[in-house]
Amino acid sequence: MQVLALGMGRTGTVSMQAALETLGCAPCYHGYTPLYNISHCSLWTRAFEAKYHSNGHPFTRPDWDNLLGTYGAVTDTPAICFASELITAYPEAKIVLVERDIESWYRSFEGIINSYYMRINDIMEVLDPQLTGPTARLFAYVFRDRKGFFRAGSKQELQQNAKVVYREHYAHVRAITPKERLLNFQLKEGWGPLCEFLGKDVPGVPFPRLHEGDALRERVRGFQVRGMLNVVRNLMVGILSIVVGWVAVVWAFRRGG
């Protein structure tokens, strides 16, 4: 673990992921990573239960290594929900904090709020217990848990708490991080400050400037397609089971008659 990029989601985390991987801090764990590594969801759930609900033991270095040991960096949710734990667990890692104007950030984050609270998500969670179910339970600790990261149990509470938690998060990370381990960074600064801080050579390519909303929508869309295929399969299995059961009952009735 070389870098903990602990800026809030929607502050350029996709660009930071690409930048860190270009610098050799690869692979970089992002918020979409659990969508394609479903076995991670149960580990994150254990970590959330321990920290926010005092259920189970708090994660230590071996626990984090079990989840993140093959990654060179982390960024975005859910990792940022464990800023203090990760800073302690990985004392060799540098901390990069990308912040954005809070009003601009909230306008972007509100799109996540609206998408998360769409009714179809609740339906998919029930119909697709293989993929949507585990990820929904994981991110509920972030967006739908009054003891969780945003301390919100509803859409309205999430909207009310978002800016407060944003400010608290940045203040907390800065307060607990030794100055020599911390870089307050803006994407517009490019490679220079980041490479100097990490002791890396400046790459011969432009600093990545990825549109976070578009990049995440594309990745989530692929996950949703997989979820819908699971729903179709599950419904077909259910229908087939009903048909087989009905045929068996009819056959038994006729035979008995």
Give, as one character, the DSSP assignment of residue 145: B
In the predicted structure, residue 188 carries a pLDDT above the cut 90: yes
In the predicted structure, residue 209 carries a pLDDT above the cut 60: yes
In the predicted structure, residue 235 carries a pLDDT above the cut 60: no
In a 13 Å sphere around the CA of 79, the CA atoms on its Cβ side amount to 29
Question: For the chain, what is the mean pLDDT?
Answer: 87
| Lowest-confidence region among 87-96, 190-199, 236-245 | 236-245
**Structural domains in the chain, sorted by start:** 3-256 (3.40.50.300)
Q: What is the pTM of this model?
A: 0.83
Please report the pLDDT score of residue 233 as a whole number. 65
What is the spatial distance between Cα 116 and Cα 212, in angstroms, rounded to a whole number?
A: 17
What is the spatial distance between Cα 77 and Cα 13, in angstroms, rounded to a whole number?
A: 9
In the predicted structure, residue 249 carries a pLDDT above the cut 60: no
In the predicted structure, residue 255 carries a pLDDT above the cut 90: no
Q: Are 106 and 10 in contact (CB under 8 A)?
A: no
Over residues 59-68, the mean pLDDT reads 97
How many whole angstroms from its chain centre is CA 220?
A: 11
Over residues 39-44, the mean pLDDT reads 95
In the predicted structure, residue 103 carries a pLDDT above the cut 60: yes
Which of 35, 29, 233, 232 has the alpha carbon at shortest distance from 131? 35
Please report the pLDDT score of residue 80 as a whole number. 98
The CA–CA distances, whole Å, from 161 to 47, 77, 149, 150 equal 22, 16, 10, 6
Q: Are 23 and 190 in contact (CB under 8 A)?
A: no
| Lowest-confidence region among 100-104, 112-116, 118-122, 146-150 | 118-122
Please report the pLDDT score of residue 166 as a whole number. 98
Q: What are phi and psi of 191, to 5 degrees?
A: -65, -35
What is the spatial distance between Cα 144 and Cα 163, in angstroms, rounded to a whole number?
A: 16
Q: Are 52 and 7 in contact (CB under 8 A)?
A: no
Question: Percentage of residues in the chain with pLDDT exceeding 90?
Answer: 68
